[in-house]
Amino acid sequence: MPSYEKTGVLSTKELKLPSKEHLEKGVAIIECIQEIPCNPCVASCPVNAISMKNINALPLVDFKKCIGCGKCVGSCPGLAIFVIKSKDDKSLITLPYEFLPVPEVGDIVDALDRWGNTRCNGTVKRVLKKGKTMVITIEIREDLAMEIRNIRVYA
Amino acid sequence: MLLRIKKHPIIDFKDCEQISFYFNDTKLHGFKGDSIASALHAAGIKKLTTSLKYDRPRGFFCGIGKCSSCLMKVNKVPNVRTCIAPLINGIHVETQGKLADWPDVEFKSKSKETANADILVVGAGPAGLCATLEAAGQGASVLLIDENQTVGGQLVKQTHKFFGSKQEKAGTRGIQIAIDLENDLKKFKQNGKIKVMMNSTVIGYYEGNKEKQHKFAVVKREGYENNLYEVNCRAAIFACGAMENMLLFPGNDLPGVYGAGAVQTLMNVYGVKPGKKVIMVGAGNVGLIVSYQLLQAGIEVDRVVEAMPQIGGYHVHAAKLRRCKVPILTSHSIKEVYGNGKVEGAVIVKLDNNWQPIKGSEEKIDCDTICLAVGLTPSTRFLYQVKAEMEFIPEAGGYVALHDNSMHTTIKGIYVAGDSSGIEEASTAMIEGKIAGISAAMSLGYKKKGDSSLKKQHMDELDRLRAGPFGEKPRIGKYKISKLMEKKHA
């Protein structure tokens, strides 16, 4: 049994990770590793970078095609898609957010990993309010780009 | 007022008119749109009744009118299900004795009214609504009956986005799907094809006549008064949903132990917090989703415990909770719940490989709410009364009526759809509803060009949604049902 079935937490080993070059332009990472009947991400992509063999298959991102626009982030019912863009010592993490309070651009927020532990600060760079799932972009230190997957916002 | 949810990231709770009512002579306030139980809960009253034998305090468990732990006396009418009864200005709500007093209200001697339709649909949840729309689309007249005040069944509390295929509303929240289906219903209501009776319960089945083979007795509640209807139809579709399972442990009946769905109703429909700190029992999709929705409502989820060695629900749902720092403990269960008249805490225990509690692993946790998300049982009582053949199918969640792939049971003209035909989820319930609706209408001679291929499309879509590893249980359940059905016809 893979450990995530016990813990609910993925390790980066279980994910197909993009190259440094792809990370520089910014790409979507889909943390959906079980065959569940679901496909809205495929339709959300404006450049057809996400493909699925059938509705139960795992979604595959073509990092070459992906433009890192983040449209899929807000479309995923499982809130499992993140866009990561890394350059030099900074990374931009775009993630889905469905809590209150809503952060504003410039706010400093806690950046949490997959275990919910605070690992560093993040600076809010963009807040997209399209529908009730907000899509938030934060800037963090580059070495935690593959760890940070949530934020905690203070009122 | 502390228990009212003021702001929510997903739901826009509108300011409703404040109304007053009496609870055992104390004047309390609630809001228009509340159920009696939600208004009492918001006022801090969780004990609604006492058990018959040992006088143990009881609060509501299911929150959707299916269990009997919320029965109270309202305006002198006994045995009112307060979890679904609307709060009305000025009413008197009382706890009732062990055995309700002889009602001293005057029952108006009204004669019964009659309603006729080609097809009766029982239950206005995802399956029933889709069955209604599809049958009316074929040209049949449909009467849709439901116990609740509003249509949508359990969709009205599902604030999460649905999975499934894009054409079957994936990516849309359940609460929005309920609104969309209701709007579709309104279009048909205008041309008179669909009639809807809310606050109504089907209570009996009778033999019909040659023209309309099925006759049902229906009670419609107007205020807290009951009116009797005779419904005559040529076919009926039962889409009655399901009821949450109870788990055995000491203290499981204390007020504050709820079905996870009851908590979802309380917070997402009525905007009332169930408590301050919750332990969730069960890490299937219901347990994981409701835990996340508790966090969204500003309620602390201490942990999720799961008796199985692995998380049963989708990983993506578990991941959402974990990154909010909610622990999920597999191979753990609840040993007991304690408290004086209400939940004050619980003892959690680790289980060994044989599901036995490990001595010394007990942990005492202070909390005021326990949510049970340990599966559902199909609501099928009516199918027994119509004498449909029932079988125990573990993968379907219990006894279900045998049915073919058109959702037709062993009784001519009686169909099933959704959870009451086998526990699954809302996306497949909607498709089953469509299949039942189109099949019932076609069987009555309402035929249209292309309807056979449309029905085939729905069936193929069901197969696709069930094809993955998470579809295994319903796939096996439905396979067993169809094999038993074939045997009956052989």
Q: What is the CATH number of domain B18-103?
A: 3.10.20.440
pTM: predicted TM-score of the whole model, two decimal places? 0.97
Tell me, yes or no, if B160 comes closer than 8 A to chain A by beta carbon: yes
Residue of B nearest to A33 (CA): B315
On whether residue A91 sits in a domain, the answer given is yes
pLDDT at B105: 63
Residue B2 has pLDDT above 80, yes or no: no
Q: What is the CATH number of domain B113-242+378-489?
A: 3.50.50.60
On whether residue A14 sits in a domain, the answer given is no
Q: What percent of chain B has pLDDT over 90?
A: 88
pLDDT at B146: 97
Domain B257-376, CATH homologous superfamily name and number: FAD/NAD(P)-binding domain (3.50.50.60)
Residues of A whose CB is below 8 A from B330: 6
Residue of A nearest to B427 (CA): A37
The C-alpha of B192 sits at a distance from chain A's nearest C-alpha, in angstroms, of: 35
- Nearest CB to A78: which of B310, B316, B323? B316
Residues of A whose CB is below 8 A from B319: 8-10, 31, 78, 80, 114, 149
pLDDT at A130: 85
pLDDT at A9: 98
Tell me, yes or no, if A15 comes closer than 8 A to chain B by beta carbon: no
Per residue in B302-315, pLDDT (tens digit) is 999 999 999 999 99
Average pLDDT, integer, range B11-17: 92
Tell me, yes or no, if A79 comes closer than 8 A to chain B by beta carbon: yes
Q: What percent of chain A has pLDDT over 70?
A: 100
pLDDT at B189: 83
Q: Which long-range contacts (CB under 8 A, 24 or more apart) does B10-17 make?
A: B10/A98, B10/A132, B10/B159, B10/B173, B10/B175, B10/B296, B11/B159, B11/B175, B11/B268, B11/B271, B13/B271
Determine which of A61-75, B94-108, B277-291 has the lowest per-residue pLDDT on average. Answer: B94-108
Residue B107 has pLDDT above 70, yes or no: no
Residues of B whose CB is below 8 A from A31: 316, 319
Residue A31 has pLDDT above 70, yes or no: yes
Kindly provide the ipTM of the predicted complex, given to two decimals.
0.98
Under an 8 A CB cutoff, do B296 and A35 touch? no
pLDDT at B104: 66
pLDDT at B191: 84
Tell me, yes or no, if B473 comes closer than 8 A to chain A by beta carbon: no
Average pLDDT, integer, range B311-330: 98
On whether residue A10 sits in a domain, the answer given is no
Under an 8 A CB cutoff, do B467 and A56 touch? yes
Average pLDDT, integer, range A130-155: 96
Average pLDDT, integer, range B373-397: 97
pLDDT at B274: 97
pLDDT at B77: 86
For chain B, what is the mean pLDDT? 95
- Nearest CB to A98: which of B10, B465, B466? B10
Under an 8 A CB cutoff, do B309 and A100 touch? no
Per residue in B388-400, pLDDT (tens digit) is 999 999 999 999 9
On whether residue A1 sits in a domain, the answer given is no
On whether residue A11 sits in a domain, the answer given is no
Average pLDDT, integer, range A126-153: 96
Under an 8 A CB cutoff, do A36 and B470 touch? yes
Could you tell me the residue range of the domain that residue A32 belongs to? Answer: 20-152
The C-alpha of A18 sits at a distance from chain B's nearest C-alpha, in angstroms, of: 20
pLDDT at B234: 97
B113-242+378-489 shares its CATH topology with B257-376: yes
Determine which of A75-89, B1-15, B341-355, B418-432 has the lowest per-residue pLDDT on average. Answer: B1-15
Under an 8 A CB cutoff, do B310 and A132 touch? no
On whether residue A25 sits in a domain, the answer given is yes
Instruction: Specify the number of domains making up chain A.
Output: 1
Domain ranges of chain B: 18-103, 113-242+378-489, 257-376
pLDDT band at B332 (very low <50, low <70, confident <90, very high): very high
On whether residue A46 sits in a domain, the answer given is yes
pLDDT at B223: 82
